[in-house]
Amino acid sequence: MPAVPALNVALGERSYPIVIASGLLADGFDLAGYLAGRDCLIVSNETVAPLYAARVEALLHGRAVHRIDLPDGEAHKNMASFSAVLDALAEQRAARDTTVIALGGGVVGDIAGFAAASYMRGVPFIQVPTTLLAQVDSSVGGKTGINHARGKNLVGAFHQPRLVLIDTDTLATLPDRELKAGLAEVIKHGAIADAEFFAWLEDHVEALLARDAAALAHAIRRCCEIKAAIVAEDEREEGRRAVLNFGHTFGHAIENSLGYGEWLHGEAVAVGMLLAAELGNLDDAARARLRKLVAAAGLPLAPPALAAATLRRAMGMDKKARSGVLRFIVLDAIGEARVDANVPEARIAGLLSRAAG
């Protein structure tokens, strides 16, 4: 196939390309050229594998290809799935030049990446995300991990991929609910870093919901550009990268409190963004714009029926906390985000009580 321009995540010797185009899994992309050695393990799930695994395997002609299909869903982003991938690697006698290929959404990518980070203290891996949420967010940046009963993504590692391969055609098979959940992360990128992109989303949200190919390609690329720039500046979330968690302190608490998988990650983040927007210096008009866009994307506007104390307890395990103090990502304007470690506990309690009411 003709060369496709790639974005670059600039991390020195850990730099890697993000390739975004239609038809990448069907038109002979040189995926085998990104493998570290002869062997690879494709990690997928029971939903995605029947749709796309054969196409990925065809791009790996001449290589020793193994595969494991995990159960589908956030409820399976756990130690059992992580162990299953490690077992598969050990059973194929995988060496340090074996490449793990994650084919699926954010759950598959996080599990496969964490297994790649852990097996023999680190083997290469490639991300082939097939959901909008994974394409615009979780496949980029090297965060990998699994959930724990006490907290979302509580166990994991930073491990950058060698390649992120985004075939936008995979969105044709994505359920509507998953597409809408992915739009939450798209909205987040505009809200934290690009007011012009946020305005573009306001004008094009209906096209995105209708799966307009040009609109989706633009949104995916812009989100990847934003995230790549932030990750290049702060790979291990010691500073600015934390703003990518806008809405996630509340969102993760919702997911954990309900039981993983009851709400999709993007649905919880959508509500989390609206709650977090109450904590910064965003004016009423800007908050109304955010709420209107979230609603237009078909996402929830209020948390589920959970006690305020339940949500606050779950928030206590947020990974951004330092010395027991919660650090929120807040907006001063659309496109301007910062970390705030000085939100009074009474303000948090009041917000949660109103939301739970």
What confidence score (pLDDT) does residue 266 get? 98
Check: CB of residue 189 under 8 Å from CB of residue 273.
Answer: no
Sorted by where each begins, the domain ranges of the chain are 6-173, 176-356
Name the phi and psi angles at 281, rounded to 5. -105, 20
Check whether domain 6-173 has CATH 3.30.2420.10, yes or no: no
Residues 287-314 have pLDDT tens digits of 999 999 999 999 999 999 899 999 999 9
Q: What are the residue numbers of the active site?
A: 121, 143, 185, 227, 237, 241, 245, 248, 252, 265
Sign of the CA dihedral with 117 first, then 327, 294, and 195 last: negative
Residues of the chain with pLDDT under 70: 1-5, 323, 357
pLDDT at 28: 84
Using left for φ > 0, alpha for ψ between -120 and 50, and beta otherwise, residue 215 falls in: alpha
CATH class assigned to 176-356: mainly alpha
Tell me the whole-structure pTM to 2 decimals. 0.95
DSSP codes, 278-290: TTSS--HHHHHHH
